[in-house]
Amino acid sequence: MPTTHRLLCGPRTVHWGFFDAALAPVLTLASGDELIVDSVNGGTLEVAGCPFPILPEHLAIHQECAPRLGPHILTGPVAIRGAMAGDVLEVAILDVKLRASWGFNAIKPLRGTLPEDYPFLRVLHIPIDLDRQECHLSFGPSLPLRPFFGILGVAPPPACGAISSIEPREHGGNIDLKELTAGTRLFLPVFAEGALFSVGDGHAVQGDGEVCLTALETCLSGRFRLTLHKQLPLVSNSRPLMRPIALTPTHVITLGMDPDLDDAAKTALRDMIALLAEANGWSSADAYSFCSMACDLRVTQLVDGNKGIHAMVQRRYLREPPREPTQD
């Protein structure tokens, strides 16, 4: 029977700013188990002067830990028993909940989409109404919330050593895809023994592009079901998974990440063409023509070194094989 595991965040269960296959897991579970995990978001700069209550574990992490390479506080890593390089880890996002009554938005010099226009530091602390599930901006409107984790990732290849949490890569990481809400399944290629899954960078709401560098950053709790596969279960006899693919209740999504936005778009589109051709038995040229009529290319984010483009096709056009019992 699958087991549900609870992972709290604190100085002994987080790694700050990096991914590394050499990290020891803080928890090990079996394929098909569920994981309830807490996260916090924000370094000392973002928390300084905050007029709202700070979670005690957030303060303890600031006191006992230090960032390395990047700014994101990640809970994990979690090992999945039996995971090996070449496998696929399915992350079924079952629930995402807010843990704090505030969030922050930051503009930082030399960062963001328009650094030449905004060469200064500004940190806004924004109240969150947990009952109404909205935030009110001091300069006017209120926004409905749609929480998701900006970072869901496994360890990179061991040969990479420690890498920054900033750039999204083939292992996932700082994807910042706002479609990764409850009800979505994310498929990640496994590069290291145990897979070593980590989460963080909680967002209460974000626009496509995340243009000023940050969304409404906040502390979240997530519930996931983690399932191992030997190949991508969306198609039969698929080629090895090279990059993350997501399946929402309505769409299939391929992800391209590259310093050049055009190259990111080409990667997302090529992966979508290959997926449609494999799933539906189409020629590559037929899938290319179909994408020109029925695939949407959207900007995931513009601010993390590797920019992101995601390609979206409605699921009704994807001929999916029957799902495994553990996924129902």
Mean pLDDT on 196-213: 98
**21 in a structural domain:** yes
- The upper half-sphere exposure of residue 203, i.e. CA atoms within 13 Å in the direction of its Cβ, equals 24
- Whether residues 225 and 251 share a domain: the answer is no
**172 in a structural domain:** yes
Coil vs helix vs strand at 240: coil
**Cα–Cα–Cα angle for 216, 217, 219, rounded to 5 degrees:** 130
Choose one of 229, 263, 287: the last residue of a domain.
Answer: 229
- Whether residues 54 and 142 share a domain: the answer is yes
- Whether residues 99 and 215 share a domain: the answer is yes
- Whether residues 41 and 100 share a domain: the answer is yes
Q: Which structural domain, as residue segments, surrounds residue 153?
A: 4-229
Mean pLDDT on 149-173: 98
Choose one of 199, 229, 259: the last residue of a domain.
Answer: 229
Mean pLDDT on 148-176: 98
Q: Which two tokens stand for residue 328?
A: 């129902």
Provide the pLDDT for residue 322: 60
- Whether residues 104 and 55 share a domain: the answer is yes
Q: pLDDT band for position 323 (50/70/90)?
A: low
Q: Is the pLDDT of residue 324 over 60?
A: no
Taking the C-alpha atoms of residue 276 and residue 288, their distance in angstroms, rounded to an integer, is 9
pLDDT tens digit sequence for 236-294? 877 899 999 999 999 999 999 999 999 999 999 999 999 999 999 999 999 999 999 99
**78 in a structural domain:** yes
- Whether residues 276 and 185 share a domain: the answer is no
Number of domains in the chain: 2
Provide the pLDDT for residue 116: 97
- Whether residues 179 and 313 share a domain: the answer is no
- Whether residues 192 and 313 share a domain: the answer is no
- Whether residues 189 and 277 share a domain: the answer is no
**82 in a structural domain:** yes
Taking the C-alpha atoms of residue 97 and residue 45, their distance in angstroms, rounded to an integer, is 24
Q: What is the pTM of this model?
A: 0.96
CB distance 183 to 93 below 8 Å: yes
β pairing state of 4-7 and 34-38: parallel
- Whether residues 143 and 180 share a domain: the answer is yes
Q: At 282, which CATH number?
A: 3.10.28.20
Coil vs helix vs strand at 80: strand
Q: Is the pLDDT of residue 326 over 70?
A: no
- Whether residues 77 and 207 share a domain: the answer is yes
Choose one of 178, 194, 229: the last residue of a domain.
Answer: 229
The lowest-confidence range among 13-22, 36-45, 316-325 is 316-325
Question: Can you tell me which residue has the tokens 């924004």?
Answer: 126
**Cα–Cα–Cα angle for 5, 9, 12, rounded to 5 degrees:** 100
- Whether residues 190 and 301 share a domain: the answer is no
